[in-house]
A and B are shown apart, each in its own frame.
Chain A
Amino acid sequence: MRYLTLLPLFFGLASVAIFLGCVELLLTFGLLNQFVIPFPSAVLGSFGRLFAEEQLFHRLVLTGTEALAASVLVSLFGISIGVLLHRCRVLQLATEPWIAAITAAPIVLAYPLFLVMFGRSAVTIVAMGFFAGLAPVILKTLEGLNGVRKSFINVGHSYKLTPAQLFWKIELPAAVPTIFVGVRLGLVFALINLIGVEFLINFGGLGQLVNDLAERYDLPGVFATIVFVILVSVVIFSALERMERWFRPADRS
C-alpha cells in the first residue's frame, strides 16, 4: 500500500532530476544557450541568496496575505451572490451568461482601471484577484444549488421544513461539494491574477520579485522564484484538495 503511493512519487522526482541533469549537460556542452536558460545548479544555488537578500520569505507572506484576503472575499461574495441568484430565477437567467463569459475573459488586462481607482497598492492587487476569482464561485454555487436532488427536497417538504431549514439543512450541504470545486477554481484564478498584477505594477511580493530580477537580468534568480511560486501553488492546491475531500464525506470510502 505504502509502496504503491511512494513509487509514483519516486518516479516523478527521478524524472524531474534526470530532466534537469540533461539540461545541465546540454548547457555545459554549449548545445543550449546559457544566456537564455540558466544552469539548473545555479538556479538551485540562488535560493539561499533569494531568502537572505531578497526577503523571499517576507514576500511569500505578503503575497500569501493578499491571496488570503482575496480568497475570503471571493468565497464570501461568490457564494452569497450564487445563493441570491438561485433564489431569484429572473436574475439568474439574466446574469448567468454574462458571468460565464466573464470567466473566460482575461480580466488581468483591466489592471490600469484598478490602478486608477485604488493606486499602486495592495488593494489593487487584491481587487484584481477578487474579480478574477468571483465568476467560477458564483457559477459553481448556482450549479450546486440547482442540482440538489429532487428527492432530498421532497424529504425536506415531507417534514414540513421552513424555507430557512430547507436551505441550511438540505440545499446547502447537498451543494457543498460542487461549491467547493468553484472555490478551488476561484482561488486558482485569483492567485494567477494576483501574481500577474504584482508583476505588472511592480508592487508587492513574489510577482514583483520576478519583475525585479528580470530587470537586473538575474536569470537564475528569476527561474528560482518561478520554481518557488510553482511549488507554493502546488502545496496550496493539494491542501485545498485535502479539504475538499473532508467536505465530501460521501466519497470517503
Chain B
Amino acid sequence: MRASSANLRLAPAEIAETDLIIDGVSKRFNTREGTVTAVDGMSFSIERGEFVSIIGPSGCGKSTIFSILGGLVRSFDGRVTVNGEEISGPHPAIGMVFQEESTFPWRTVIDNVAFPLEVQGVAKAQRYEIARRFIDMVGLAGFEQRYPSELSGGMRQRVAIARTLVFEPKILLMDEPFAALDEQTRLLLGDKVLKIQQDLRQTTLLITHNITEAVQLSDRVIIMTFRPGRVKRIVDIRLPRPRHGDVVSSEAFGRYVAEIWSDLREEASRGMAETEAGARQSKA
C-alpha cells in the first residue's frame, strides 16, 4: 500500500494492521462570534508501528484532533477507532504528550515521571527504577529531585515526554512536544524518541508546525488546511531508516521540506490573513 513501509523494521503481518482510524471527524465550537469549525471531515489512518506527523498553521485544528484522538472530547462527529474498537473516552493503549505545560509543579521530576506507574499501583522502588531509566533517556539524569520550577521550559517538556513514555504506550500522541526546545536539543531528542519508537514499535502521531522535524521523524506527513481543518495532502517520506539527526543535510530531505513548505505556505498566509481580518472585524 505504501512504498515507505518497506523501510520499517516490522514483520509483514504487522504492517497490514491498522491501529488508528479517523473517519470523517468534525468538531465545531460555539463561540460568541458564532460557530467555529475547527476540524472538518478529517479522515486518515495510521498503521501499527508507523510514525505520522500532522503539520499545519497555527489555529488549524491540530490540538483539537489531538484531544479527540486522546478521548478527551466527548462530542464530535465521525468515528475514531483504536485497535479495532471505537473509542468513547481515553483509550488505555494511548499515551499523550500535551502542548501546554503539564508537569505537576508539586512533584519532583522523578515523582512526575513515575506518576502513571504510581496510579497503576507499582511499588515505589520499582517505579523509581523504571522512572530513572526514562529520565536518563531524555537527558535529565541528576535532576531527579528537582521541582519543575527549577527547570527550564525545555527540560520540563522532556519530563512530560518521559512521563508519557514510562508506561510504554502502544500508541503515542504528541502535540508539539519539542516546540519549547532549541534546534539542537530538538534534533537530539527527536533522535531519541525515534529510537524508542522503533524499539517499542510504537504507533506515533506527532503534531508539529516544524517541517524539518516532521520530515526527519515521519513515515508520512499529513498537511492540514486552515479553517476549516481538513487533510490537504499526505506526503510519503521515503527516506531510509534508521534515521539520525544528520539525515537533515541530505538532498532528498531538502526536497521533501521544499515540497511541504510550498503546500503549507498557502495555508499559513491564508491563516494569517483571516486571523487578522477577524481581529479587525471584532474590533470594529
Contacts and interface: CB of A to CB of B under 8 A. Distances in A.
A49 interface: no
A253 B150 contact: yes
- Chain B contact patch, size range: 20 to 34
Interface stretch (A68-76, A156-164, A190-198): A156-164
A163 to B, nearest CB: 13
A23 B46 CA distance: 83
Interface in A170-207: 170, 173-174, 176
Contact of B105 (A155, A158, A159, A249): A249
Interface string A222-253: 00000000000000000000000000011111
Contact of A250 (B95, B98, B102, B147): B147
B125 to A, nearest CB: 20
A221 B72 CA distance: 66
A251 B119 contact: no
B178 to A, nearest CB: 17
- Chain A contact patch, size range: 20 to 34
A169 interface: yes
Nearest to A172: B106
Which of B90, B95, B108 has the most chain A CB atoms inside 10 A of its CB? B90
A176 B150 contact: no
B100 interface: yes
B148 A165 contact: no
Nearest to A247: B106
Nearest to A169: B119
A155 B89 CA distance: 13
Contacts, number: 69
Interface in B112-151: 115-116, 118-119, 147-150
Contacts of A251: 149
A249 B90 CA distance: 30
Contacts of A217: none
B106 A154 contact: no
Interface string B198-230: 000000000000000000000000000000000
B96 A158 contact: yes
B12 interface: no
A158 B149 contact: no
A51 interface: no
B98 A249 contact: no
Contacts of A152: 102, 104
A228 to B, nearest CB: 37
Contacts of B106: 173-174, 176, 249-250
A5 interface: no
Contacts of A155: 96, 98, 102, 104
B175 to A, nearest CB: 10
A157 B149 contact: no
B119 A161 contact: yes
Nearest to B151: A253
B259 interface: no
A165 B104 CA distance: 15
B94 interface: yes
Interface in B158-208: 167
Given A250-B147, A250-B149, A253-B150, A158 B70 contact: yes
A158 to B, nearest CB: 4
A165 B107 CA distance: 15
A174 B104 contact: yes
Contacts of B89: 157, 160
15 contacts: A149-B101, A155-B96, A155-B104, A157-B72, A157-B89, A158-B71, A158-B94, A159-B115, A159-B116, A165-B119, A173-B107, A174-B106, A250-B148, A251-B149, A253-B150
Interface of B: 67, 70-72, 89-90, 92, 94-96, 98, 100-102, 104-108, 115-116, 118-119, 147-150, 167
Interface of A: 149-152, 154-155, 157-161, 165, 169-170, 173-174, 176, 249-253
For the complex of A and B, 8 pairs with smallest distance between CB atoms: A250-B105, A151-B100, A151-B102, A158-B96, A173-B106, A250-B149, A253-B150, A249-B147
